[in-house]
Amino acid sequence: MIRVFVSGCYDIIHAGHVQFFREARALGDHLTVSFASSEVLWFHKQRRSSLPDEHKRALMASLRMVDDVVIGRGLDEGIDFREEFLRIRPHILAVTEDDKYEVLKRALCAEVGARYVVLGKTPPDFKPISTSEIVRTIRAPQEAPLRVDFAGGWLDVPAYARAGAYVVNCAISPTVSLRSWPYERNAGLGGSGAWALLNGHDGIKAELDLGVGWQDPAVIRETGLCVWRSGLRPELEIKIAGRFLRGCMALYWTGAPHDTPSMVADSRDYGAIATAGMSARDAVWRESLDGLAEAVRQSYAVQLAEGMAPLSGNASSTSPQAGVLPLAWKYCGGGFGGYALYLCKDQADRDRLCGLPGFRPIEPFVGSGSA
C-alpha cells in the first residue's frame, strides 16, 4: 500500500483543498491529511482557528478521498506535523507548486525515505478562492455609506500630496448594498470604494492602483466626518459624528456621469485646494457650519477655475424664487458631472430645497461602535 501525506493550515476548507486532496490521493492507496492545531495557527499566524480542532478533524475525515486525519502540534514553522510524519512513515509527501517550505520538507522526507512530489497546477474545478478571500467575504459589511468631500480633494493622490495639507470628507446615508444602490452610478460619491468594501476587498489599494487617491475608501471604511492629513496613505487627524450637519446637506444630480481617473492629470491650483482644506479642517474642529460652508465655497471657486460649468439651472439660480438660499455648493469628487453637494443653514431650508427637481436629502453616517 502506498501511503500519501499532505499538510496545511486548512483553516477554512474550500473546493480548492478538496481538489488537491483528490489529486494527492490518486498518487497512492491511502491519504493522510495533517492540519495545524489551533495553538500552532495562533503561534505562527496570530489567527484564531475557524473551528475547534476536533470539529475540523471530523469535517475532513468525512471526505471520501481522505483515509486519515492527524493534527500537527509541533511549533517548527512549516513542519508542525513532524512527529506524526515520522510515526506514519508515508511513501509520498505531496505539496503544491507554491509551497514555501520545500527545504524543510525535503529534509524530513529524507529521514524516512519518502518521495517529495510537487503537484502541478491543474485547471480548477471551481473558480479559485483562498482562505483569506473567504475571511474577507465573511467580514465584509452588508451595507456601506458613500461619501461627500468638502475640501482638499486631489491632495489624497500620492503624486499631489502636500505636507501640512488636509482632506475633509464625510460618510453619508442612505447607505448602499450589493442589492440596493439608491444613487446614480459614476456619481462622484466614492462608489468604487463602497463596492470594494461590500465585496471584502482592500478599497484603498484598488483606488491607488487606478492612479487616484485614497480618500473615498478611507472615509467609507472609517465613517463619520473626518479630517485626513494629506500623504501617500490615509492618516486620520480627527473624526466626529458631524451632528452639526444633520438636516443641512443635500445632493443635486447634474445629469452627467463622473470619471475621476480621466481627470487626475488636469491642471489645477493645488495651493488654493490646500487653503480650502485648511479652512474645512478648522471648521470641523470648531464644529462650525458657517466655517465649513466657506471651505466649500473656496473649493467651488477652484472647480470653476478648472473650467467646470457653473451650477446653474438648479438651486443657485432658482432658490430665490423658491425661498431657499443655500449656504454653499460644489461638485462632489473631481467634478465635471456627477452629484453636487449643497449646504443649507437648517433642515427647513434643506427640505424646501429638496422639493425642487433633482435634489435629495442626505445625512452624516457613523457606523456602529463609532463616536
Q: 242 CB contacts (<8 Å, ≥6 apart)?
A: 170, 224, 225, 364, 366
Residue with cell 524530513: 108
Residues 181 and 57 both lie in one domain: no
Q: 197 CB contacts (<8 Å, ≥6 apart)?
A: 140, 141, 144, 203, 217, 220, 221
Residues 78 and 45 both lie in one domain: yes
Residues 188 and 290 both lie in one domain: yes
Indicate whether 171 pLDDT > 70: yes
In a domain, 44, yes or no: yes
In a domain, 199, yes or no: yes
In a domain, 371, yes or no: no
Residues 66 and 155 both lie in one domain: no
CATH number of the domain that residue 301 is part of: 3.30.230.120
Indicate whether 233 pLDDT > 80: yes
Of 87-96, 259-268, 275-284, 361-370, minimum mean pLDDT range: 259-268
Tell me the C-alpha distance between 118 and 331, whole Å. 56
User: Counting Cβ atoms within 10 Å, is residue 307 exposed (0-12), middle (13-18) or buried (19+)?
Assistant: exposed
Residues 145 and 292 both lie in one domain: yes
For the stretch 119-147, pLDDT in tens is 987 766 667 666 667 667 777 788 999 99
pLDDT value at position 320? 43
Host domain of residue 206: 140-364
Residues 243 and 160 both lie in one domain: yes
What is the domain count for the chain? Answer: 2
Indicate whether 281 pLDDT > 60: yes
Nearest residue to 314 via CA among 353, 272, 366, 278: 353
pLDDT value at position 129? 64
Quote the mean pLDDT of the chain.
Answer: 89
The b/e string for 10-29 (b: 16+ C-beta within 10 A; e otherwise) is bbbbeebbbbbbebbbebbe
The values of phi and psi at residue 143, to 5°, are -145, 160
Nearest residue to 239 via CA among 217, 223, 216, 221: 223
Last residue of a domain, one of 116, 136, 156: 136
Residues 214 and 99 both lie in one domain: no
Residues 106 and 205 both lie in one domain: no
Indicate whether 370 pLDDT > 50: no
User: Pick the residue with more confidence: 126 or 320?
Assistant: 126
For the stretch 83-103, pLDDT in tens is 999 999 999 999 999 899 999
Nearest residue to 240 via CA among 363, 366, 151, 345: 366
Q: 303 CB contacts (<8 Å, ≥6 apart)?
A: 330, 331, 335
In a domain, 294, yes or no: yes
pLDDT value at position 217? 92
Last residue of a domain, one of 84, 104, 136: 136
In a domain, 369, yes or no: no
CATH number of the domain that residue 123 is part of: 3.40.50.620
Average pLDDT, stretch 277-290?
98
Residues 61 and 188 both lie in one domain: no
Residues 146 and 130 both lie in one domain: no
Tell me the C-alpha distance between 341 and 333, whole Å. 10
